[in-house]
Structure 1
Amino acid sequence: MDLNIDSLVTVLTVAAGKERGANQKASENQLKQWETVSGYHFLLQSVYLNVEYPLQIRWLAVICLKNGVEKYWRSTRVNAISKEEKFEIKRHFFNLLDESNDQLAIQNAHALARVCRFDFPAEWPTLFEEIAGLLESNSRNIVKLHNLLLMTNQILKTLASIRIGRARAAMQNKVTVVVPHLVQLYKGFFNHWTSDGSFNTAVMEVGYLCLKNLRRAIVDGYEYPHRDAVVVEFFQLSLQHFQKLLLLHESSQLPLLERYLKAYVKLYTNLVNDNVVAFVMMPDSYQIFMTMLSLLESKASEIYNSEENEFWEQLAIKMVSNLKKLTAFGYKKGAVMLKQRNDQSEVRGAAEMVATQFFNLQLVEHLVDLLITWYMKLRASDLESWSIEPEEWVNEQLQVSWEYQIRPCAENYFQDLVSYFKPQLSGFILRKIESVLSDDSADILTKDSVLAVFQLSANAISESCNFDQLFRNFFLPEALKDVPLENKLVKRRICLIASEWIPIQGSKETRLEMYQLIIQFLKESPINDRVVKLTAVQTLQHLIDDWEFRKYQFQPFLTETVAGLLGLLKGLEFTESKIFVLKVLSVLIERTNPLVSEQELLQIMTMIPAMWDESNNANEMIVKNSLMRVLRDLTIALNSNSNKTYPIVLPLIELCCTPGSDLYALLCEDGLELWGAVLKHLPTTVAVPDQIINLFPLTVSALSNWTEILPTVLQLVRSYAMLDFKLYETEKGLEILKILGGYLTSMRDDSIYLTSSLIETLVLQNQDSAQVVENITESGLFAEMVQYLTRESQTPNCEIKMSLPLLRLVHKNPVQFLGLLTRVTDTNLATKLNSLIESLINLLKLVYDSKIRKLFVLALFSFYDPAIFKEYLPKDQNSDLDYQIQNMSPESAVSLVLSTNFSNILFLATHLLEEVNENEQGDCEAYHKPSSYEDDDLTLIEQDQDETNEYALEYKLPPSAEKLRYNELIFKLDPVHRINTKGLIKYKMDSLSGIKGYQGLLASVDGETLEQLQMMINK
């Protein structure tokens, strides 16, 4: 179908029809095809601008235009709109300012804003001048002005959001053209609707749009708004109008009037957040500050007692946020300011003004008193929610952000105040607490508010009071009283106080008493409702996650605590509550490992199947993640008895980690962690179950699909190498090695370490079969490892780590290694060998770990075998080594490379012998110290820990089965612990004495090195 205005209208008519069918689908496809046809978007605009067409057609036309601008306006896009068509579209955007349909006008404004995002300033430099002219020429037409202000607002909003490029800076240069017109219009319309008391909605709406545009223009359009006379005049006017409308609002709560008040507060809030110096330097900033403070005081009772009308509460949150920002600015002396770093004198002046004028001591004390009296108190609605839906109420308290509810907002700001004004407020707060708690007539909500003050003031007043004494003499007796309503509030608050205070000042005895109190709160009782129990769990989480937590101190309370948590879990209804308690249970198992008894761990495990089945509906499916984590920690804690979890965990691992299963996307990551824990703690006393071996093929999909958690997957595949290296002789093993070869150059450091450790494990275990080495080569991994080491060094630590498996291959069979190197090199073997040896020598110079140094020396000396090193060939000083190699036989070229590097290798070997004192078997104390030789998971087990010292054992865990296997592997097969370095060097030197040119080889070595080596060998 040809594109013209008539055909477009016809297609739009069908596409906009209410009944869907084949014709409508065909019309939609036709519109899609026309998107790339020249002139289409201009015709869409023409349809929208023609008011004679039906509303539905015009609506669809403007929507298509807006979407087309997004897709095809940039000149770099395929099928981009031509320059000529763009010009015509921009020329007609303002043609229909008298549009009567607000929704159509808004869509047109969105389309215009998107064009401005792309074209301003380069392709539309006169944009703001055009807007200013239109504002002036249409100032008496309310409809046109309304639509024009809608468009201007969208333009300012869009340009302000741009952070990179010229648009935002250009807007700041041009906005001064528009702002005077906006101010004049705003004043005229405001005076109009306020002077006659008519509350003309149309006039009010246009005035509001002027205010909305000014709010954006002032905050985002000026770098220094306080230096512009027009802005300063408007800012002063805004305060007068704000105060005037506050009085009007007392008698008339019109929604539009409330939108005005919100706009003023939002103006002040945005300016404080974006440019606090500009706000403070405005002439009436102090009056605005005091107006906000006065409102917070005068409306406190209304906000506290009436929750149906959110207007004042939302305004109060904004105003408290402003005070918070100003307080921080004054206290930190402007240090938080970056935007005006070149105007330090102005910043210092503003900070001084805030610190001395805004926040004097009397005002700060009054502000604290206001927060305590009204804004930090629980409301009647809180008690009602507590009673009706206790779990939901606790979840809200745990999850709510302070920016959205007034009580958390007030508590957050209170903490700032007591932190910033600690010397001035500590005495005031202590007196306030003492006066209220000693007043028998004070109601429980007031007491709770004061206890909240004590809770939140921990950092400020901890030096002025003795919490241990207070806990024993006041809080503990209060917690044990049997007064239902009051006791519930007190119990909850004591838990919250303990969370804050004990990590700061609590003694060991206080911690123990609190552990016991938590157990009491978790017991079934009419007073211990779910709010009390869940808050006790919250405190438990804080205490066991604390740096000062000692698991041996907690051991006497473990059994009852676990029982309390399991009992609580059975009665919970909400998903969030279950997840929270399961998380704490998981942390408890982890932090107290290995003190939770096997019986208790198995008791926890028995409740998991039922909870798993209960969480099958979509809303509770996420509980399964928490259950998987509990199973992981259970498996780790059971350690040598972890096989008792297999009936539950092995089917779950298969279910969660099999691609295509219903739970794969949600639970595979947790499944991989659980799988890794099972492998790591698989008892050494039992045979590897077939079910675990049968899971091995799933590691291929895990490596391919879960690269964002690659270290987790690599730990898992390494565990399989530790359990049964022959798995890597199979096709699946080869596939894994191929994937690793493809990833190697882009791996992070932690993944490099794990890959190196995996290949080392395979090489160490593979004493007889050549298939694993063959698979490492065939997969391309060997070639990638060689390439990784011979490239220009980028991350020496990673290259040192990656060199270890290659060094083991060299030491194991240097002849075989040269054969492998021949297969993967696209250059002369000797050239590649020289490049590799030079890289290894350079890396060895950076190694300070004795074990790694020895492995380097053992491997490098392995090349000096008569089967490889046939004769000494000196390097020709007058020609390039590569050139010499090219003109030799392969055997001679290899001998030349080894001859050239012999002196450096012997020199580095002497350094190793200087720093170690090996026994006859080649082992020494230095090789048993934890070091970079092993990663964190496989650190060699130390044998000399003080088993009687409780604190020495505090952070020690029993070795996992994988560590035991690793220890056995290292001490049984690792040449570092089994070959005497002196003896090896002596043997190698004796073996080389029979090669042709031996004396020349010795002559190539520095005499001092030879002398020192001889002395060490004979020592």
Structure 2
Amino acid sequence: MDLSYENLSTVLSIANGSERNPEQQQAESQLKAWETQKGYHFLLQEIYLKEELPLQLRWLAVICFKNGIEKYWRSSRANAISKEEKTQIKSRLFNLVGEKNNQLAIQNGHSIARIVRFDFPMEWPTLFDDLANSLEENVFRKGDMVATNNLLLILNQVIKTVAVVRVGRARHAMQSKAPIITPVLIRSYLKLFQQWTSVSLDLGLMEVCYLCLKTLRRIITEGFDRPHKNTDVVEFMTISIQHLQMLVVEHEKYSASDMLERYVKCYSKLYVGLISSNPTSFVLFPCSVDIITTFMSLLEHKAELIYNSTEENSFWETLALKGFMILKKIIAFIYKRGAVVLKERNEREEVNAAIQKLTNEVFTTQVVQHLCDLIIEWYLRLKPSDLESWLLEPEEWCNEEISTSWEYQIRPCAENFFQDLITFFKDSLSGFVLNKISNGLANNNNSVDEILSKDAILCTFQLSASSIADTVDFDQLLKDIFIPEGLKNELAENRIVKRRVCLIISEWVSVKCSRESRVEIFRLLVDFLNPDNKINDAVVKLTAIQTLKRVIDDWDFNKYDFHSFLNDFVKLCIQFLGSVEYTESKLYIFNILATMLQRCNPLVDHATLIDILSVIPDYWNSVSSDNESILKNSLLRVLKNLVVSLNDKSTETYRISIPLITTCCTGDTDTFALLSEDGYELWHSVLQYCPTNVDPTSQEELVNLLPLVPHGLLNATEILPTIMSIIRSYALISPDILCGDIGMGIFRALSGYLANMREDAYTVFISLMDILLLQISNNEQFVNNLIGSGLFNAMALFVLDENHDVVSGNKIFLLFSRIAMGSSELFFQMVDHFAIDKKKLFDTWIDNLDRNGNPRNKKLNLIGLLSLCARAIPSKDNVLPLKFAQITKKILLFLEEVNETTEGNCTAYEQDLIYEDIDDYCYSDQDITPHGEKKRYQALIESKDPVFKTNLKSLLAQVLSELRNTLNDTDFRQLISMNDEYSIEKLQTMI
């Protein structure tokens, strides 16, 4: 079908049908085919510009147009829109300013903004001048509100788009035009504001004026480097706070519309945006103090209203949040002493002047202390709505409290701001706050109001931990006040204080808490989790569990002090698990179980471990939707830690863990994307902790999982080290299974990854190959896989690539040494098969020896090279005979550095093993028995690694003897004569 206006209109009508059918699919394919044809986007624009056409047809046309601009407007793109078509399109971009459908006008604005991103300023230098003129004409000469609205929509999108540009001239060019467009916007705003506030409550007029204010907010924040230097902006900022104050005072008068609230929020966003982008300029505005004090006044005079409000995110609460945000950013500016980027030399003077202004005029000691009083009295107290939610839905309320971000809820925001106050004004507030705490703790818990007041006071102690730790004895306060307060059970409302005590402990335990106090904390938390005490509701228990996790995760946690409480906590957590309803609550419990297992290994007794294991199947099967799949991730982590804790008895988990591994790690399933990462972690632990004497049935079950590896290796590269670690574990359990087709696939994938492999994955790769070469280097199928997969060639190319560092290259040469020790003839065959440059290979290998600081690895390299010399020299190889003198000298010098036994061992060889991550997770603890994998690896290197069994000096003497017997006297003497005097003297003693 040819592209024409009529045909395009017809196809768009068909594509816009309400039901999916073959004809509609054909229409969509036709639109796709037309995308790259000349004139397509011009015709789309023509269609959506025609007001007489059906709205749905125009809507689809403008959407296609907008998407096409994104894909084809840039001239460097394939099938880019031609320059002529662009000119035609741009000539009509503002023809839709009279559009009355707001959504269509918005899409048109988005389209224009996309063009601006590509063309401004080089191809469209007059953009802001054109917009300013159009706005001036429609507001002041024509009074056309529809056109004004649409122009403001376009301008807002344009500023928003250009503001995010960080490379190129667009942002700088916009800033040069800001003084042109800003005065027009300000005059337009003032005219419109005057009209709707003095004449009538015209919602349409209010909307246009609001859009003008919104655009001003963007251009002032993004269009000026130093807005306080622009007289128009300075004047507008003064007017803005006056308007804000007027609208707040007359809020009830205009309560019929939420538009008023949008105005007030927009002013707030303007101030927050300015402080965030340029705090110095904000403070140096003449009206800045007025702005700050206005929000302080709002926080004070609306505090009771906000406290008693049952409406979530009410207007006044939102305004209070903005107020706290403004104050927070301002005092951070003071505290950091203007630690901002200075673009001009005299800006430091302006920064100092701004700080001086704030310190002297706003944040005096009296004002800061008054702010503290205000926050404690109204904003830290639990609201009546909080108490109601706690009573009706305790579990849900507690989960919301734990997960709520402080930017969006007034009490968490006030808590965060209080922490800033006590931190930034420590000298003037520490004594003041301590006095408040001292007086507050003297109150009794005889009424709900007293308890709420005490809770707010205790909250200040919680939030002041880092600031007052040096001036208080927390251990004594814990013993004398907090534990007794936590154990009170006279009123049901005592649960409020119990929760607060938990929060205090969570905050203070990592700041200042003795070992003896931690034991008392464990005892207290056991009491808080006691199901027989009815005051200990879901909120108290969940908060206690979160506190317990903080204590256990702390650096100074001592598992031996915790040992006597361990079983009690596990039983209480499992018991509590049966009574919670929400997924989040279950997550908290499973996370603490996983943490206890990890931090307390190996102190958890076998019966307790089995108790935890027994709950996993039921909860796994209870997960009914993808929304709860995160619970399965948590269960997998618990199961992994159970495997670790059971160690040699980890086979007891196989009936559960192996089916779950199969479920999680099978590719192309719904669960793979969600659960595979934790599934692989579990799989790796099961293999690592598989005992050395595992029964044949269990070993077969593990081996049967191996076919799941290739899919993960190819599709889960973000966790490549884990998957490669699984393969490494199999190399120790049953290396022969990697000799077949699965091994070929694995090696082929690794050969593709090797050149760009991340360091953590590369480390695992080296240890994996080292283990395989120690065990099956002479296995014909293994060798065929090594060659057929291209892995040997990839390793050779890796060491010959100068972009790779010497340390990484030396690890590959270690693998080459293993191959050479197994069969030097095979090594040369592989080198010849891939036509590898021998001279460059051996030059690099020998040169790298001097930069190999690991005695063990260096010896292996020397043995490998010596083995190759023993094979190459008699066969008249044209490379290694010339290198023999270098190699022998390095061997002789190495022997002077180490002190080998007759068997060839040395203490220097017993460290820095190739499998360097084998002691991760828990082996710093001397009480923990090494897992099966470590035992298998130690047995392997002790039985098969020549580094411990080959005396290097004897091996050199043996090679020399063999060469003397193989070569004629002339060739042998010539070979020895290539050495220097020192080496010849040493070698003479061996011949």
With normalisation by structure 2, the TM-score equals 0.94
How much has 1:844 moved relative to structure 2? 1.6
Q: Which residue of 1 aligns with 2:799?
A: 789
Residues 331, 355 of structure 1: 8 Å contact kept: no
Q: Cα deviation per residue 1:795-839 (whole Å; 9 max; x = unaligned)?
A: 22221222222111112222232222222225xxxxx33322222
Q: Distance in 2 between matches of 1:913 and 1:368?
A: 73
Residues 48, 61 of structure 1: 8 Å contact kept: yes
RMSD: 2.4
Instruction: Report which stretch shifted further, 475-484 or 594-603.
Output: 475-484
Instruction: Report which stretch shifted further, 523-532 or 249-258.
Output: 249-258
How much has 1:536 moved relative to structure 2? 0.7
Q: Distance in 1 between matches of 2:711 and 2:868?
A: 39
Residues 275, 339 of structure 1: 8 Å contact kept: no
Structure 1 residues 810 and 125: CA distance shift in structure 2, 3 A: same
Residues 752, 801 of structure 1: 8 Å contact kept: no
How much has 1:424 moved relative to structure 2? 2.1
Q: Distance in 2 between matches of 1:813 and 1:959?
A: 33
Q: Counterpart amino acid of 1:446? A: S
Q: Cα deviation per residue 1:272-316 (whole Å; 9 max; x = unaligned)?
A: 111112211212112211111111111111111113261111111
How much has 1:676 moved relative to structure 2? 1.0
Residues 939, 963 of structure 1: 8 Å contact kept: no
Residue 714 of structure 1: which of 724, 736, 741 is its match?
Answer: 724
Instruction: Report which stretch shifted further, 469-478 or 56-65.
Output: 56-65
How much has 1:617 moved relative to structure 2? 3.1
Q: Which residue of 1 aligns with 2:338?
A: 334
How much has 1:529 moved relative to structure 2? 0.8
Q: Distance in 2 between matches of 1:671 and 1:851?
A: 35
Matched, 1:807 2:817: yes
How much has 1:215 moved relative to structure 2? 0.6
How much has 1:26 moved relative to structure 2? 5.2
Residues 767, 914 of structure 2: 8 Å contact kept: no
Q: Cα deviation per residue 1:937-995 (whole Å; 9 max; x = unaligned)?
A: 168999xxxxxxxxxx7476321100001111111111111111222233334444454
Matched, 1:166 2:169: yes
How much has 1:346 moved relative to structure 2? 2.7
Q: Which residue of 2 aligns with 1:960?
A: 931
Matched, 1:400 2:399: no
Q: Which residue of 2 aligns with 1:434?
A: 438
Q: Counterpart amino acid of 1:656? A: C
* Residues 650-799 of structure 1 mapped to structure 2, 5 A cutoff: 650-688=658-696, 689-766=699-776, 769-792=779-802, 794-799=804-809
* Residues 193-342 of structure 1 mapped to structure 2, 5 A cutoff: 193-196=196-199, 198-253=200-255, 254-308=257-311, 310-337=314-341
- SS at 2:177's partner residue? helix
Q: Which residue of 2 aligns with 1:864?
A: 869
Structure 1 residues 294 and 779: CA distance shift in structure 2, 3 A: same
Q: Which residue of 1 aligns with 2:892?
A: 910
Q: Which residue of 1 aligns with 2:601?
A: 593
Unaligned runs of 5+ in 1: 827-831, 871-890, 943-952
Residue 146 of structure 1: which of 140, 144, 149 is its match?
Answer: 149
How much has 1:55 moved relative to structure 2? 3.2
Residues 934, 940 of structure 1: 8 Å contact kept: no
Residues 770, 914 of structure 2: 8 Å contact kept: no
Structure 1 residues 94 and 854: CA distance shift in structure 2, 3 A: same
Q: Distance in 2 between matches of 1:782 and 1:548?
A: 48
Residues 418, 460 of structure 1: 8 Å contact kept: yes
Residue 580 of structure 2: which of 548, 556, 572 is its match?
Answer: 572
Q: Distance in 1 between matches of 2:752 and 2:388?
A: 61
How much has 1:205 moved relative to structure 2? 2.4
* Residues 490-505 of structure 1 mapped to structure 2, 5 A cutoff: 490-505=497-512
Structure 1 residues 778 and 38: CA distance shift in structure 2, 3 A: closer
Q: Which residue of 2 aligns with 1:879?
A: none
Q: Which residue of 2 aligns with 1:418?
A: 422
Q: Counterpart amino acid of 2:462? A: Q
Structure 1 residues 1014 and 318: CA distance shift in structure 2, 3 A: farther
* Residues 26-37 of structure 1 mapped to structure 2, 5 A cutoff: 27-37=27-37
Q: Distance in 2 between matches of 1:807 and 1:595?
A: 43
How much has 1:709 moved relative to structure 2? 0.6
Residues 552, 599 of structure 2: 8 Å contact kept: yes
Identity over aligned pairs, percent: 45
Q: Distance in 1 between matches of 2:433 and 2:122?
A: 59
Q: Which residue of 1 aligns with 2:525?
A: 518
Q: Distance in 1 between matches of 2:578 and 2:872?
A: 72
Q: Counterpart amino acid of 1:49? A: L
Structure 1 residues 10 and 858: CA distance shift in structure 2, 3 A: closer
How much has 1:25 moved relative to structure 2? 5.2
Residue 955 of structure 2: which of 976, 984, 992 is its match?
Answer: 984
Q: Distance in 1 between matches of 2:122 and 2:227?
A: 25
How much has 1:434 moved relative to structure 2? 0.9
Instruction: Report which stretch shifted further, 591-600 or 7-16.
Output: 7-16
How much has 1:660 moved relative to structure 2? 3.3
How much has 1:336 moved relative to structure 2? 4.4
Q: Which residue of 2 aligns with 1:378?
A: 382
Residues 309, 385 of structure 2: 8 Å contact kept: no
Q: Cα deviation per residue 1:509-567 (whole Å; 9 max; x = unaligned)?
A: 11011111111211213111111111111011101111101112211111101111111
Structure 1 residues 844 and 265: CA distance shift in structure 2, 3 A: same
Q: Which residue of 2 aligns with 1:617?
A: 625
Residues 395, 582 of structure 2: 8 Å contact kept: yes
Q: Distance in 2 between matches of 1:271 and 1:983?
A: 78
- SS at 1:765's partner residue? helix
Structure 1 residues 129 and 775: CA distance shift in structure 2, 3 A: same
- SS at 2:918's partner residue? helix
Q: Cα deviation per residue 1:140-171 (whole Å; 9 max; x = unaligned)?
A: 22222222112211111121122222222211
How much has 1:262 moved relative to structure 2? 1.0
Structure 1 residues 657 and 339: CA distance shift in structure 2, 3 A: farther
Q: Which residue of 1 aligns with 2:95?
A: 95
Q: Distance in 2 between matches of 1:148 and 1:503?
A: 56
Residues 778, 822 of structure 2: 8 Å contact kept: no
Structure 1 residues 862 and 274: CA distance shift in structure 2, 3 A: same
Instruction: Report which stretch shifted further, 592-601 or 903-912.
Output: 903-912
Q: Distance in 2 between matches of 1:82 and 1:997?
A: 77
Structure 1 residues 361 and 913: CA distance shift in structure 2, 3 A: farther
- SS at 1:936's partner residue? coil
Matched, 1:934 2:901: no
How much has 1:266 moved relative to structure 2? 0.8
Q: Distance in 2 between matches of 1:265 and 1:955?
A: 59
Residue 972 of structure 2: which of 986, 989, 998 is its match?
Answer: 998
Residues 98, 143 of structure 1: 8 Å contact kept: yes
How much has 1:14 moved relative to structure 2? 4.9
Structure 1 residues 66 and 686: CA distance shift in structure 2, 3 A: closer
Residues 757, 805 of structure 1: 8 Å contact kept: no
Structure 1 residues 939 and 370: CA distance shift in structure 2, 3 A: closer
Q: Cα deviation per residue 1:579-638 (whole Å; 9 max; x = unaligned)?
A: 221112111111111111111111111111111111133432331111111111111110
How much has 1:349 moved relative to structure 2? 3.2
Instruction: Report which stretch shifted further, 626-635 or 650-659.
Output: 650-659
Residue 188 of structure 2: which of 179, 185, 188 is its match?
Answer: 185
With normalisation by structure 1, the TM-score equals 0.92
- SS at 1:595's partner residue? coil
Q: Distance in 2 between matches of 1:40 and 1:852?
A: 67
Residues 777, 783 of structure 2: 8 Å contact kept: no
Structure 1 residues 773 and 398: CA distance shift in structure 2, 3 A: same
How much has 1:208 moved relative to structure 2? 1.7
Structure 1 residues 429 and 954: CA distance shift in structure 2, 3 A: farther
Instruction: Report which stretch shifted further, 299-308 or 452-461.
Output: 299-308
Q: Counterpart amino acid of 1:240? A: Q
- SS at 1:917's partner residue? coil
How much has 1:12 moved relative to structure 2? 4.4
How much has 1:780 moved relative to structure 2? 1.3
